[in-house]
Amino acid sequence: MKQGKPLVSVLTITYNRADLIHKCIESIQRQTYPNYEHVIVDGGSTDDTEEVVMKYHDSHIRYVKLKEKGPAIQMNRAFAESKGEMITFLDDDDEYLPMKISKQVERMEELGKDYGMVYCWMSYYNTENTPPPTS
């Protein structure tokens, strides 16, 4: 029987999101699941993205700044940097609800080795932080 909780790698790629990345980071810090790493790969931002990330002084965060950018380049590097048994993705302008990782790890463990992934629904919000109209 496996001891402890598996390490979950949260992968985030970013570029010039100094104004939004704090929400992404803080939503991961609010997770009820304790055993995670947050790998943030920056595609050479020219704004203050790096300064925003570094202000957190969080040992869970691994920040990598590349000279080149592009989703494939950045995501490949994020995979290479990750050490987790399980991987999840969070865009730099998105947030997780506090129990998201806990629930997904629990579900993966219930399903067993025959399953390689789980997913969940998401809610959309506008800039005023309210759900968009349904019609």
Give the CATH number of the domain where residue 29 resides: 3.90.550.10
The three-class DSSP label of residue 60 is coil
pLDDT value of residue 1: 37
Q: Is the dihedral of CA 78, 83, 87, 88 positive or negative?
A: negative
Give bridge partners of residue 9 from the DSSP assignment: 37, 87
Residue 116 in any domain: the answer is no
pLDDT by residue (tens digit) across 38-74? Answer: 999 999 999 999 999 999 999 999 999 999 889 999 9
126 falls in which pLDDT band (50, 70, 90)?
low
Q: How confident is the prediction for the chain on average, in pLDDT?
A: 89
Residue 122 in any domain: the answer is no
pTM, full prediction: 0.87
Residue 131 in any domain: the answer is no
Range(s) of the domain holding residue 15: 8-111
Taking 70 as the threshold, does the pLDDT of residue 110 lie above it? yes
Residue 124 in any domain: the answer is no
Residue 118 in any domain: the answer is no
Structural domains counted in the chain: 1
Q: In this predicted model, which residue has the larger pLDDT, 114 or 15?
A: 15
The three-class DSSP label of residue 87 is strand
Whose tokens are 């380049």? That residue is 73
Residue 123 in any domain: the answer is no
CA distance 13 to 64: 10
Residue 119 in any domain: the answer is no
